[in-house]
Amino acid sequence: MGSEKGCCCGCAPEPSEEDLLKRLDEVVAEYRAKPGALIPVLQIAQGMFGYLPESALKRVALGLGKAYSEVAGVVGFYSYFTTVPRGKHLVRVCLGTACYVRGGKAVLDAFKAKLGIDVGQTTPDRMYSLEVARCFGACGLAPAIMVDDDVHHRVKPGRISQILAQYSETKGEQSWQAESPTPTP
Amino acid sequence: MPTVTVNTTEVRVPEGTTVLQAARAAGINIPTLCNLEGVHAPGACRVCLAEVEGARTLVASCVAPVQEGMKIKTNSKRVRDARRTAVELLLSEHNGDCQTCVRNDDCELQALAQDLGIRSIRYEGERGHKHIDCSTPALVRDSGKCILCRRCVSVCGEVQGVGALFPQDRGFATVVGPAFCSDLGDVVCVQCGQCSAVCPVGAITERDDIEKVWDALNDPTKHVVVQTAPAIRAALGECFDYEPGTVVTGKMVAALRQLGFDAVFDTNFTADLTIMEEGTELLTRLKTALVDKGQVALPMFTSCSPGWINFAECFYPEILPNISTCKSPQQMFGTVAKTWYAKRIGKKPEDIVVVSVMPCTAKKFEAERPEMNDSGVRDVDIVLTTRELGRMIKQAGVDFRSLADEKMDDPLGASTGAADIFANTGGVMEAALRTAYEIVTGRELPFDKLHVAPVQGLEGVKEASVTITGAVPAWSFLEGVTMNVAVAHGLSNARKVIEKTKAGEANYHFVEIMTCPGGCIGGGGQPRLTTDEVRKARIAAIYREDEGRELRKSHDNPVVKAIYEEWLGTPLGHTSHELLHTHYKRRSRV
């Protein structure tokens, strides 16, 4: 995050951290007077930065007049929030009761093995992050997982390569290789 | 006014009363670990469970309001079993070691386990993660002992408006601590120690500096002097089972001598000196504003309370010019002891050790501030809290209760009633007005028994006005001027006064801020547990002490007079400026 480098496909360079913080200030200003502003502001911040860096959290605390410890407490409480940069795609495996009894744990282990990471970690190529979730409301179709905003039903360990393949080679998106530092021609 | 029955006792209580309060009104004690009357009732510890006839489950009595005709049982088998289970579960996680814990014999969890007759713990499992945070000079946190009652969270966040502590993470992994489980030294913490004053167990305590004092006392090359803050004498007795509000000055002096101090002195002496400097500073600021029409920061805020100084440096750096430049009495004492007194007894400052006994943990931080070395060496070497002094006296085997009263040593033991009342909210203001009014008018402050009644008591923010009439020629510009003063205790109340001032809603000339609720008598280093009842008892004792004095105005202190004649010249003079005044610095808020 925050790198000045544009990407090789010619799209606009990612905004710098300074720009994002400025935009965050505007969000905070908009929410300041609203009750219960902290969680929506954190959600927006995470959407902007991809995760919640310390600089953003301190800005939120100052802007909303909240103690930094409280902001940190809320971030730590909800598994949705993350303070470490996430990969391009977020895989969330549901371990709610229904998914758990129908094999969610085996699905999680398969993802761990396939991606070579543990829960809360990101693959070295920054493509995938792995999280555990508690119920997407898809219990009838358990075990369920989410990749980004897509819910996948009745996932079996044997199907995960196929699921991941959809995200590795989606049209219009960069492939794994394009993410790695390739010098611009 | 609902009428309820608690066990066999019928009691009529106001609307909104909790089951816990109703039981207490009926003379029945329900144990609690998290409840803090008037501050905090999260229903977190599940120890205060009670049975309400007709209710499906047991209720947490600290949060359940009573209803007309309610029948409450506090001692049924169901209640006893549930309470016992709650405490056993807490004990099964509690990563403590009673025999060597500083809270041994002063621990609410231990006392409750004893009261409930718990002789074994039926649950075995993982214990809380133990991380010892000794990153600050004032406080030590031990996460393994924390029972997650969150009293410290409420006190730090709501009473003090600082918010250094909050529950981090979730479930079994929950830690009450600074952001992302960092250490206190890495975040904004004013070191007031109110967390350590309300912690029911040994999870947050003052840093124990007793061994350092023993080492100094054992060193024959050192001349070790001790100063005791005004608030100590009205609370130390509680360490020896005296009722709150018992003044034990004479026994305290005797005990300090038995510990081996070479001289037993009084921070009250420099409290009087502070009044001379701070009162003059106020009058000088007023003169600059009214006569010279110069730029000067008003209102002036007091500077005795180091937690307040830390708070202002972090949260309100824009008002630092308004804070009196006077060092706190503790730091003035250190400087005077290692300069004027050192010369008198023919010692070098490096051969003198100044030990303070303070009601305060932030004083430990203050003594370590890098700039506090105007004597050429560290001005104050070691700071003990009241609780530590109590323990030290016990370590020495001194039978405190049987000691005969003794008097403070000369010369730095001399003080007046004005210094006594530095201990409580409103006291510094009253002491300052006693002197400033007399300087300006040549007459005594025109209040009954010299008490500024409107600034007394436990109201969070108090205001008073004094109109000056009959000013002496030197101060004639103040003739007819109405001085508006405000007094706040507890930092969230300080915040209110500052915000009001900044918004132009108040026209104060002088504002007293004390960090802790009730002032120093309710300090973070005082014997536990300081409730409002205890605060009132200690404050009443301090006023009795003041009223019993022959000298009750700082400018009447004979040694203060002598020190100006011999050494300092005038208040705010060159030597004062060099040795008795300080400066503040802006610090980050997050």
B40 phi and psi angles, rounded to 5 deg:
-155, 120
List CB contacts (< 8 A) between A76 and chain B: 168-170, 180
Instruction: In whole angstroms, give the CA distance from residue B483 to residue B475.
Output: 14
Interval B460-484: pLDDT, tens:
999 999 999 999 999 999 999 999 9
Is B281 labeled as catalytic in the residue annotation? yes
What confidence category does residue A9 fall into, taking pLDDT thresholds of 50, 70 and 90? low
From chain A, the residues in CB contact with B187 under 8 A are 68-69
Chain A residues whose C-beta is within 8 A of a chain B C-beta are: 57-58, 61-62, 66-73, 76-77, 83
Q: Residue B40 pLDDT more than 90?
A: no
User: Which chain B residues touch A if contact means CB-CB below 8 Å?
Assistant: 157, 162-170, 177-180, 187-188, 589-590
Annotated catalytic, B211? no
B366: annotated active-site residue: yes
Per-residue pLDDT of B185-200, as tens digits, reads 999 999 999 999 999 9
pLDDT for res B294: 87
Q: Report pLDDT for B441.
A: 95
B/e letters for B181-206, b = 16+ CB within 10 Å, e = fewer, are bbbbeebbbbbbbbbbbbbbbbbbbb
Beta carbons of B165 and B215 less than 8 angstroms apart: no
Query: Tell me, what's the pLDDT at A176?
Result: 37
Is the predicted pLDDT of residue A178 greater than 70, yes or no? no
Rg of chain A over Cα atoms, rounded to whole angstroms, equals 18
> Residue A56 and residue A46: Cα distance in Å, rounded?
9
B304 carries an active-site annotation: yes
Residue B324 annotated among the catalytic residues of the structure: yes
Of the listed B107, B277, B520, B553, which one is catalytic? B520
Per the CB < 8 A criterion, the answer to whether B249 and B350 are in contact is no
Nearest to B179 among A62, A69, A77 (CB): A69
* Dist. CA B85–CA B121, nearest whole Å: 9
Tens digit of pLDDT for each residue in B275-333? 999 999 999 999 999 888 889 999 999 999 999 999 999 999 999 999 999 999 999 99
pLDDT-above-90 percentage for chain B = 96
Question: The tokens 């400026």 sit on which residue?
Answer: B577
Q: Residues 6 or more apart from B440 whose CB is under 8 A from it?
A: B283, B468, B471, B472, B475, B478
Q: Which residue of A has its CA nearest to B167?
A: A73
Shortest alpha-carbon distance between residue A61 and chain B (Å): 8
| Arithmetic mean of pLDDT over chain B | 96
> Which of A61, A77, A83 is the closest to B590 by Cβ?
A61
Nearest CA to A155 out of A100, A97, A80 is that of A100
**CATH code of the domain made up of B3-75:** 3.10.20.740
Whether residue A76 and residue B188 make contact (CB cut-off 8 A), yes or no, is no
* Annotation: CATH topology of B98-107+120-206: Alpha-Beta Plaits (3.30.70)
The partner residue sitting opposite B163, judged by closest CB among A62, A69, A76, is A69
Has B371 been annotated as catalytic? yes
pLDDT for A182: 38
Catalytic residue chosen out of the listed positions B61, B154, B324, B576: B324
C-alpha distances out from residue B120 to B79, B114, B544, Å: 19, 11, 48
- Cβ pair B178:A69 closer than 8 A: yes
pLDDT classification of B440: cutoffs 50, 70, 90:
very high
Which CATH architecture describes the domain B210-269+330-402? 3-Layer(aba) Sandwich (3.40)
- Chain A, chain B: beta-carbon pairs less than 8 Å apart: 46
pLDDT of residue A126: 87
pLDDT value at residue A174: 41
Q: Say yes or no for a CB contact (<8 Å) between B163 and A76.
A: no
Mean of pLDDT over chain A: 86
**Any idea where the domains of chain B sit in the sequence?**
3-75, 98-107+120-206, 210-269+330-402, 274-328+417-527+537-579
Closest CA in chain B for residue A60: B590
Neighbouring C-beta atoms of residue B247, cutoff 10 Å: 20
CATH topology of domain B274-328+417-527+537-579: Fe-only Hydrogenase (Larger Subunit); Chain L, domain 3 (3.40.950)
pLDDT at B432 > cutoff 90: yes
DSSP string spanning B142-188?
EGGG-----HHHHIIIIISS----EEES-GGG-EEESGGG--GGGS-
| CATH assignment, A89-177 | 3.40.30.10
Q: Taking residues B147-151, what's their average pLDDT?
A: 96
pLDDT surpassing 70 at residue B405: yes
Mutate to test the interface with B, among A60, A69, A134 (most CBs of B within 10 A): A69
> What per-residue confidence (pLDDT) applies to B590?
87
pLDDT of residue A181: 37
What local confidence, expressed as pLDDT, does residue A170 receive? Answer: 54
Bond before B320 cis per omega within 30 degrees: no
What is the pLDDT at residue B471? 95
Write the residue in B162, B168, B188 that is nearest to A72 by C-beta.
B168
Residues of A in contact with B184 (CB under 8 A): none
Instruction: List pLDDT tens digits, range A18-71.
Output: 899 999 999 999 999 999 999 999 999 999 998 999 999 999 999 999 999 999
d(CA A120, nearest CA chain B) in Å = 14
Q: Do A69 and B177 count as a contact with CB atoms less than 8 A apart?
A: yes
Domain chopping of chain A, boundaries: 17-77, 89-177
* Nearest CB partner across the interface for B168, out of A61, A62, A76: A76
Can you give the pLDDT at residue A172?
42
d(CA A71, CA A38): 8
How many Cβ atoms sit within 10 Å of the Cβ of residue A2? 14
Q: CB distance B180–A61 less than 8 Å?
A: no
3-state secondary structure labels for all residues of B543-586: HHHHHCCCCCCHHHCHHHHHHHHHHHCCCCCHHHHHHCECCCCC
Q: Do A58 and B188 touch (CB under 8 A)?
A: no
Residue in A66, A68, A73 closest to B167 by CB: A73
Phi and psi dihedrals of A92, rounded to 5?
-120, 120
Selected catalytic residue, list B189, B304, B326, B516: B304
- For residue A122, CA distances in Å to A52, A91, A119, B82, B269 come to 15, 10, 9, 44, 63
